[in-house]
């Protein structure tokens, strides 16, 4: 006999626990299912552990370059990767335990540990138990995509998940994939002491960004000694007799074989929808396996929602949490919020970081709309000069008619924080003059944003 609940949540990523707690707080009898680690990707193998590693890598980088600031450090700078990993495990582990403790301490909430699969449109099977509800929320997230590369089956390779287990410094780390995840790991391990080669099949790094962003990122990574191979279509991988790994590529360069000690795959993500038993339901997915949802995040089956990375409407912790807010507002508050109202924003957490919001310059140009653009190099920013970190720029694009901000990129020191000045104005649908006439604190990165907006010029 099935155990009946007012709601079932499958997965404890960023949106699932918050939604489960909100419904339980309303007196609903809620079941939440977790098959592995509480907290999902962000807490265990994504944002929190990787940014903790980034912090350790930056500490090593700053120490090695302290002399530029008049600070002398006697002796060699070395990295203890076991200690680095232990620190990462402590930070991520605390977050994991906090999520689990939160769930276990929530009244009206029952935890089921195991793999949940749909038995029908209204039932989920976990081990020997069948759970039933007319409200089911899928929060199963995603995992690293493994490409079909010849010879890969014979190689012990890393993804972002098992890379979290590394407690040593690879002699030469090969990274297939020159986008957000791959580049963060590339800089991180270069600063730890590895030789690093990034292999990217496209003509540029992070291909969804504008060329000036991609080129600037490439330049500062190469300045740190990272090898970058572009237009390199991976044909096969093979293990050498000495234990090293070679990647055979087809590219414009003469050397079509890249050899290193370890291999990291960072070529994208895929949703965890393959083993949910969706074939037992009327839930529709797209060609990549993402669950199709409405603007209110409801699936093709009434009473079933998909939230977080598995719905293809966002691939970030902040979009997943916003999914919870949208569903909760519609379901519990009678507040008709829609995912279509969300403005795209994200960061690339290299050093310096990239903060991005809205449309790229290329997208605006292709739209054919009248637009204005302003751009200033980070070398003009007092904070950047004082810190000795002047790579990058601030770029803002504005609709010439409505005066609303269409998009922006802040690539440079604290760009991932300064971008929020623009995000908030965009959500307010206010004209750019609201911020161009504002007085910002000196000396900060944000103080140059009004200056950029005061010097807008029409697209050429």
What is the C-alpha separation between 100 and 421, in angstroms, rounded? 34
The residue from 115, 318, 440, 442 that is catalytic is: 442
Neighbours of 254 (CB within 10 A): 5
Q: How far is CA 329 from the centre of its chain?
A: 25
Contacts of 41 (CB under 8 A, 6+ apart): 13, 47, 141, 142, 309
Residues listed for the chain: 460
What is the C-alpha separation between 209 and 411, in angstroms, rounded? 11
What is the C-alpha separation between 366 and 3, in angstroms, rounded? 54
Q: What is the CA radius of gyration of the chain?
A: 24
- Write down the H helix ranges in 65-169: 81-104
Tell me if residue 115 is catalytic: no
Neighbours of 336 (CB within 10 A): 11
Decide: residue 394, CB within 10 A, 0-12 exposed, 13-18 middle, 19+ buried. buried
Closest CA to 321 of 16, 86, 3: 16
Is residue 422 within 8 Å of 372, Cβ to Cβ?
no
What is the C-alpha separation between 370 and 46, in angstroms, rounded? 39
Contacts of 76 (CB under 8 A, 6+ apart): none
Is residue 342 within 8 Å of 319, Cβ to Cβ?
yes
Secondary element (H or E) of residue 21 = helix 16-25
Is residue 215 within 8 Å of 181, Cβ to Cβ?
no
Query: For the chain, percent helix, then strand, then coil, each to nearest 5?
Result: 35, 25, 40
- Write down the H helix ranges in 139-199: 180-192
Active site residues: 442
């Amino acid at each position: 006999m099935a155990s009946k609940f007012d709601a079932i949540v499958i997965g404890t990523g960023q949106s699932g626990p918050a939604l489960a707690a909100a419904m339980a707080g309303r007196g609903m009898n809620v079941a939440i299912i977790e098959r592995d680690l509480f907290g999902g990707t962000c807490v265990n193998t994504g944002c929190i552990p990787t940014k903790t590693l980034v912090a350790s890598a930056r500490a090593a980088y700053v120490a090695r370059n302290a002399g530029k600031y008049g600070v002398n450090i006697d002796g060699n700078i070395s990295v203890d990767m076991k200690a680095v990993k232990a620190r990462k495990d402590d930070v991520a582990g605390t977050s994991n335990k906090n999520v689990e403790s939160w769930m276990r301490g929530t009244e009206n909430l029952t935890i089921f540990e195991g793999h949940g699969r749909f038995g029908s449109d209204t039932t989920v099977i976990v081990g020997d138990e069948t759970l039933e509800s007319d409200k089911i929320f899928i929060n199963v997230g995603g995992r690293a995509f493994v490409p079909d590369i010849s010879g890969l089956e014979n190689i012990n390779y890393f993804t972002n998940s098992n890379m979290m287990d590394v407690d040593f410094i690879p002699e030469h780390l090969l990274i297939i994939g020159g986008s957000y995840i791959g580049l963060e790991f590339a800089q991180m391990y270069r600063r730890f002491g590895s030789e690093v080669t990034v292999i990217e099949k496209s003509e540029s790094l992070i291909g969804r960004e504008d060329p000036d962003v991609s080129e600037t990122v490439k330049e500062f990574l190469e300045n740190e000694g990272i090898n970058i191979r572009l237009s390199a279509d991976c044909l096969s991988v093979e293990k050498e007799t000495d234990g090293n790994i070679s990647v055979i590529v087809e590219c414009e360069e003469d050397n079509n074989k890249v050899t290193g000690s370890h291999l990291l795959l960072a070529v994208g993500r895929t949703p965890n929808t393959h083993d949910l038993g969706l074939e037992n339901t009327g839930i529709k997915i797209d060609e990549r396996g993402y669950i199709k949802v409405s603007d209110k995040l409801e699936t093709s089956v009434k009473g079933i929602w998909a939230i977080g990375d598995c719905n293809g409407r966002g691939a970030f912790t902040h979009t997943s949490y916003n999914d919870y807010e949208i569903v909760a507002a519609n379901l519990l508050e009678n507040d008709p919020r829609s995912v279509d109202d969300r403005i795209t924003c994200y960061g690339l957490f290299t050093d310096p970081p990239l903060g991005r919001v809205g449309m790229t310059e290329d997208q605006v140009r292709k739209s054919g709309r009248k637009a204005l653009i302003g751009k200033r190099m980070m070398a003009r920013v007092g904070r950047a000069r004082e810190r000795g970190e002047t790579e990058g720029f601030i770029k803002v694009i504005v609709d010439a008619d409505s005066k609303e901000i269409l998009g922006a990129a802040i690539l440079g020191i604290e760009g991932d924080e300064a971008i929020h000045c623009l995000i908030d104005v965009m959500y307010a649908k206010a004209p750019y003059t609201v911020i161009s006439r504002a007085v910002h604190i000196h000396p900060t990165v944000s103080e140059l944003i009004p200056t950029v907006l005061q010097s807008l010029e029409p697209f050429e």
